[in-house]
Amino acid sequence: MKGKVLFISGIDTNVGKTYATGILARQLAAEGHTVITQKMIQTGCTDISEDIEMHRQLMGIPFTEEDKAGLTCPYIFTYPCSPHMAAERDGRRIDLSVITRATQELQKHYEYVLLEGAGGLMVPNDFHSLAIDYIREQNYPLILVTSGKLGSINHTLLSLYACRQQGIQVDSVIYNLYPHTDQLIEDNTLEYLRQYLRHEWPDTHLRLLPEKSSYPPHSEMAIPTE
């Protein structure tokens, strides 16, 4: 078996990638699929990936054997910053082939591997490679997480433009409803993106990520698709 890898990125940092990844994994599992999440590079942590920990909480499962073996987060750095800077501060080097091999090992055992990136598409892994370069080279379909905060239209369209230029398939755009900022801007942003995707990216799904406060700890959650 060779599982399908979906890469989850966002229009910026702190846009809801981790919640989207965990809830989508839970949804796939509820549909009867075998699914595992992976964090490409984690910064701002020491022994364990806080994002993997959140994934497991949202999925309602304990740490897996793959988590304990380090396959689901090959690189963890201490300083909360971009991967290239975090690796440099810790005196280490990121070898992207290590991440690729870990993902391939997970693909042998799961139907889906949800690979969460760090920050947005243009985040540098090192001084020679950006996240978007890695996605293109691996030919991974992308799930792009956005929100209704002011500026999201610009950031979303720039991200989609970059994907088109790089020939990256955008499986879906997830619109994060949390946290609330300005209802008028949120509603307008959602409607604009809905129309934009319909005309410019007709094969890309638009999904709504429920509010954080509505995530019950032990019930099925789904990300509705429009």
Containing H/E element for 155? helix 152-166
Active site residues: 39
Q: How far is CA 110 from each of CA 33, 38, 55, 113, 167, rounded to the nearest angstrom?
A: 8, 12, 16, 7, 26
Contact 21, 55 (CB under 8 A): yes
Contact 105, 71 (CB under 8 A): yes
Residue type for position 66: E
Compute how many other C-beta atoms are within 10 angstroms of the C-beta atom of residue 3. Answer: 19
